[in-house]
Amino acid sequence: MSTMSVYVPPDLLIQILRRLPVKSLIRFTSVCKSWYFLITNPNFITTHLNQTIASNKNQNRPLLLRYYNKDDEKEHYTLRHDDETFSRFLELEFPFKCQLGYVRIVGSCNGLLCLSDDFFANTNGIFLWNPSIRQSLVLPAPNKPESPHMFVLGFGVDIATNDYKVVRLVYCKQYPLHYEYPPTVEIYTVSSGLWRSLGTPGPSYGMVELLWSQAFVNGAVHWIAFNPAGGGHNLIVSFDMGNEVFSKIMLPDALAGEHQSNLYITVVGECLSVFRYGIGSCCIWVMKEYGVVKSWTELVTVNLPGATDRTLGLRKNGEVLLSTTEKILASYDPKTQQIKDLGIQGNRRSLYVDTYMETLVLLKRQNRFLEGQLHSFEW
């Protein structure tokens, strides 16, 4: 009795595999060598990423929540349903131990998190971590000026080359609370595994690092900045990850004159957004059309004097996630002005919420490690 082999054309196989979840693809790398090399191929990783992004636009993506628990002195990364229950369906295994209890989350991009174990100028490590494939990358130490300094980090991807980058702006201190302008700029690229100098000075603006905020939108990373020579008025400085050029975006008058420490830049939906904090309040502004100053819109205001501490983001149902003065994660409905305790406690700076997407990014980088782990990979 003869056996019949089934031949699947390569193009059809790619069409099938690119629609599968990461968990299945990791298992399929052990089916045979040809599947292993296909799934770990950079072109396939990009194809799968694009398919995931397109599919997720019409789906209710889960939320990634990070919080620090003082009881077990551990930072927890959990996936939550963005629904009425906000229930946990998976706890991610965090591969690092931080010297101060929890790391700084610089930003996220395509399922990849950039983390920094630092306290402003004291850098003890920068990492890239993809929780969905349990792979991480420890960056080499950047150049460290001999004089006292402060640095600002940004994270994103060059959309044309799919090369992930970390940009570092370093301000040397002249005397307390005063720094030299412009800053020096270093860039790390995953493709090279090295830091390099930009070669040209950074913008002559001060960056706000007090709230650890940056936003990657439209191929560029963005920070809140102020003009030391222009009365301290605020603006947004961006750095294009492709052409590696700095630009600026103006803020609406309501934000331009605010104290820099009261502003936090982030992404709401797919729009550049700025949170303006007041006493017990937070106004959420979004730039509905990227680069068009007139499109800045005040989307929602949270006004809970004595109760709210920090706003974390918007949920799919329009409710606002925030931390309270009692260090509790809560969900606030702007329509009914009701606040709901979600039963999670955490330090205000340890609380972090973002949408979550499973991708294969970093898989090719870790082939040799992966080969020894495939048969023992458990979920």
Residue 16 in tokens: 């099938």
Per-residue pLDDT tens digits for 189-208? 999 999 999 988 888 888 86
pLDDT in tens, 206-253: 886 655 789 999 999 999 998 877 666 899 999 999 999 999 999 999
What is the predicted pLDDT for the residue at 6? 65
The answer to whether residue 147 scores a pLDDT higher than 80 is no
Counting every residue written for the chain, the total comes to 379
pLDDT of residue 345: 86
Look-up of token digits 């068009």: 292
Q: What does pTM read for this prediction? A: 0.88
Q: Which residue has tokens 């860039």?
A: 187
Token pair recorded at residue 284? 């959420």
Given a cut of 50, whether residue 4 has pLDDT beyond it is no
Any idea where the domains of the chain sit in the sequence? 1-61+359-379
Element (H, E) at 264: strand 263-268
Longest dimension (CA), the chain: 87
Show the tokens assigned to 212: 């650890």
**β-strand pairing of 352-355 with 184-189:** unpaired
Q: Ramachandran region of residue 101, left (φ > 0), alpha (ψ -120 to 50) or beta?
A: left
What tokens does 114 get? 């950039």
Whether residue 276 contacts residue 254, with contact meaning beta carbons closer than 8 Å, is answered with: yes
Packed helices 42-56 and 10-17: angle between N→C axes, nearest 10 degrees: 50
Q: How far apart are CA 18 and CA 52, in angstroms?
A: 8
